[in-house]
Structure 1
């Protein structure tokens, strides 16, 4: 792990929460980076054996005492990487996988942009879970990101120094969107590495019954508590970034349609309605951080009026 790697000076930061095993991603990254930092976001003492396995693989293990959210977990890892001399950091979720040369492709995309005198900040793969992140391109062929997911994001240390870290108060959901917009406002727009793919599992796939299923036979649904954060942070980002109102309104409309579907499929619907209403209200009141424990307890009781698909069928 300490020997010279193809992307020397680049460190990987991998966030995990209640991991069932050592993420296979770590082995895939070993030959591509100078070092790997794994941040466990408050999984608890029962996960000590897995954390010990991760540490024995050569990764630097950071275990947070409490679940602090993706922003805080990423920031712990990014700060540690910079303290260890990283000139760039690539961030990942535990569910991502990478092919050989992935990190080099990200770095090469930024070097190409700078060689053409195109300002560039973070770099993301063109495809995240088969969804294109590409936006408009420059005359020099550099492609900007239309939106950017943090897993698989290449962060030069000088960008972090100029823009700052992730906003921990958002806790989870749209943390990467907020960071991407801040980079753009600092004239360090996010660009893509053309053709590069990052396979990733987005939530769980379900088969939808009834009339709705005729329109949407299958659908990816998140853990119910996530809808609170998504609703809250949509309101917060809309207020925070008025220069990007058109883009954020467009994204919000898509989310609101998704919220309606989630409400229709939730059991009980009254609890999903309560989660969404609390998110919108807390967004307007700028009540940030982790959701209230009583609300989290209610969210944990929500189930879906849908049949989960086996992993093979979901892929």
Structure 2
């Protein structure tokens, strides 16, 4: 297998070493040109890029997109089946560390997230500041993510040395030290998709590791479609694909079972946030019965302890 082309424009963080020691892992499912743009954006900010295609029987369009990623220097791994985001991340991380044995950090990205210039260096600098202040780093995250509205009570807070500590981040755009990966363990493949980042964050918190935020850094990423009112005004709330509500509610039950006792504040916020979201999208977005059905079935599956891909 052809090894990836080295970064053409390596950046560095004077306090925390070169970005050439960072490995980028991009997960993909039925990708379009957005995946190529994501690879192109990140390739100059990391030492190696690994794309993991998490599906069976890719189409001709998908194969063409993957060829374009290879031409940009990405190493492409084919899962051969749809095993979920957790499995794709674990596969990509293992491959990246094989290709780049000196990896110090892993940058995880979804196919529809393109990092801005200087993104990796900014997160590394935030990590270096945390190291100097004695703040143990479990993950480094952007200050804001395009489609995410941070709720009251989930605000960032200051730590010694001006370090900014965040609450649970989303997985895309996350920079994770390999020391934290080794300590926390891989991403939970049983969750399949939703809640994988939350589970990792909570397990890191159990070890005293923090989510450190790079102030002023923004990642453009969209988690669903916006609710549009009759006036044409968009609400700052997104509707996920209907099937995702199965995973959201199944995995909420699973996460509460695993983490609520040690993280009661998180648990209370998670329940309120999930109920609030479901109530609003039920009231304002079409497809409400199918969405409620998926949420109910997902919650029941969580009570039964089901994991992995939901039955078709």
Q: TM-score, normalised by structure 1?
A: 0.86
Q: Aligned pair in 2 of structure 1 residues 15, 268: CA closer, same or farther (>3 Å)?
A: closer
Contact map agreement 2:66 2:76 (CA 8 A) in 1: yes
For 1:1-315, what aligned pairs fall within 5 Å after superposition? 1-2=5-6, 5-6=10-11, 7-21=19-33, 22-42=35-55, 44-46=57-59, 47-84=62-99, 85=101, 86-129=103-146, 131=149, 134-209=155-230, 219-241=237-259, 242-264=261-283, 269-293=288-312
Please tell me whether the aligned partners of residues 207 and 219 of structure 1 are also in contact (alpha carbons under 8 angstroms): no
Distance of 1:40 and 1:214 partners within structure 2 = 36
Q: Give the count of matched residue pairs.
A: 290
In structure 2, how many angstroms separate the alpha carbons of the residues matched to 1:208 and 1:276? Answer: 23
Distance of 2:252 and 2:209 partners within structure 1 = 23
Structure-2 change in CA distance of 1:149 and 1:218 (3 Å):
closer
Q: 1:215 to 1:286 in 2, by over 3 A?
A: farther
Match of 1:300 in 2: none
Q: Residues 148-184 of structure 1, C-alpha deviation per residue, up to 9 Å, x if partnerless? A: 1111111111111111010000011111011011111
Structure 1 residues 167-176 or 1-10, which shifts more? 1-10
Question: How many angstroms does 1:215 deviate by?
Answer: 10
Give 1:139 shift. Answer: 2.8
| Separation in 2, partners of 1:217, 1:128 | 16
Which residue does the alignment assign to 1:309? none
Are the structure 2 counterparts of residues 215 and 196 from structure 1 closer, same or farther at C-alpha, using a change threshold of 3 Å? closer
Shift of 1:260: 2.3
**Counterparts in 2 of 1:27 and 1:146: CA distance versus 1, 3 Å:** same
Q: Which runs of 5+ in 2 are unaligned?
A: 12-18
Separation (CA, whole Å) in 1 of partners of 2:235 and 2:135 = 43
Kept in 2, the 8 Å contact 1:202–1:220? The answer is yes
| Cα distance change of structure 1 residues 29 and 269 upon mapping to structure 2, 3 Å threshold | closer
**Inter-partner Cα distance in structure 1 for 2:203 and 2:244:** 23
SS at match of 1:197: strand
State whether residues 227 and 234 of structure 2, in contact with CA within 8 Å, keep that contact through their aligned partners in structure 1: no
Check the 8 A contact 2:22/2:104 in 1, yes or no. Answer: yes
On the 8 A contact 2:137/2:180 being kept in 1, the answer is no
1:303 alignment counterpart: none
In structure 1, list runs of 5 or more residues that go unmatched.
294-315
CA distance in 2, matches of 1:146, 1:154: 15
